[in-house]
Amino acid sequence: MTVLQEKSVVYLNIGETFFSNGNHQIKTILGSCVSVCLFHEQTKYSAINHILLPKVTDIKEEKKSLRYGENSMEHLISYFVKKQIPRNELKAKIFGGTQSSLFPNFTAGPKNILFVQSYLSFEKIPIVSQDIGGELYRKLSFHTDSFDVYITKLHPQSIADISVQEKHFETKVKERMLKKTSVYTFNQ
């Protein structure tokens, strides 16, 4: 008799990463943000991140923030390196990077996609699957035991609400950089 192990569910927020060789379901919502799922088939280790913007600003306190792609990708890969898994044995799946017609001047989505593709190409990590760009937001569910990713495209009426939340988050990040505080306040 086979006993099925129940998956623990983890919700990934902007600027967070997750690494495991266990049985987890990682959930996140992506608009202009991008998530990269990395995995190593032989050892069953996998990792995921949630990137807000590609590059770090010049603000000193932001230099190590995982909201930025250059930090987040190095951090993600470092998990594997610590387990003595070579970078060139990893595989990647990438998701997100929406360009909403509601905010045509907000081009973080395409910039995030370009950054991640360039980064992975430089590291010689193949992209084996992707669902990127477009105008629809995505609910992502990454299963760390199988490396499967399930995407649900969000209905157009949901996009406006999420876009407003995303713009609100961006504004809060900018305010924090100006004030140089470490406290975030978000209203739902």
Computed over every residue of the chain, the mean pLDDT equals: 84
pLDDT band at 164 (very low <50, low <70, confident <90, very high): low
Q: How confident is the model at residue 93 (pLDDT cuts 50, 70, 90)?
A: very high
DSSP 8-state class, residue 22? S
| Structure tokens, 146 | 């199988």
N-terminal to C-terminal alpha carbon distance within the chain:
46
CA–CA gap between residue 38 and residue 90 (Å, rounded): 6
Contact, 48 vs 18, CB < 8 A?
yes
Please name each of the domains of the chain with its CATH number: 8-179 (3.30.1330.200)
Q: How many CB atoms sit inside 10 A of residue 75's CB?
A: 15
Look at residue 180 and tell me whether its pLDDT is greater than 60: no
Residue 154 DSSP symbol: P
Pairing of strands 127-132, 148-153: unpaired
